[in-house]
Amino acid sequence: TQLLEQSPQFLSIQEGENLTVYCNSSSVFSSLQWYRQEPGEGPVLLVTVVTGGEVKKLKRLTFQFGDARKDSSLHITAAQPGDTGLYLCAGVSVHSGYALNFGKGTSLLVTP
């Protein structure tokens, strides 16, 4: 069962543009995480959000957890080529047990 839907699936933008990717679910999550993965590497944890309405900033990246804890967004300001990668959201819910549920990811390409 795919609990997390990410959109868009693919995004190609030019350096300096802003973008937002979304992670949505009908389930409530006690914790939601964002990862970034580069080709041939394992995903790297960017942030964990746990409180409804929470906003966290990591340099040019802003993460928001929905008030109802069913959705999240990642906003990147002034994207750079180094932001290129696959962005995955993952959540902990009553369906998770000991394991995370991952979305299918948003593949981002930032061109100079």
Give 16 or 81: the residue with its C-beta nearer to other proteins: 81
**Looking at the DSSP assignment, which residues form a beta bridge with residue 104?**
none
Asked if 35 and 54 touch (Cβ cutoff 8 Å), the reply is no
Which residue in the set 1, 26, 39, 82 belongs to the binding site for other proteins (CB under 8 A)?
A: 39
Give me the least distance between CB of 42 and other proteins, in Å please.
3
| Cis preceding linkage at 81, omega within 30 | no
The CA distance from 63 to 33, in Å, is 10
**Looking at the DSSP assignment, which residues form a beta bridge with residue 64?**
55, 73
Q: Which helix (H) or strand (E) holds 65?
A: strand 61-65
Scanning residues 66 to 95, which ones bind other proteins (CB under 8 A)?
A: 86, 88, 90, 92
The one segment of 20-28, 59-67, 68-76, 98-106 that binds other proteins by CB under 8 A = 98-106
Give 9 or 80: the residue with its C-beta nearer to other proteins: 9
Binding region for other proteins (CB under 8 A): 2, 30-31, 33, 35, 39-45, 48, 50, 86, 88, 90, 92, 96-100, 102-105, 107
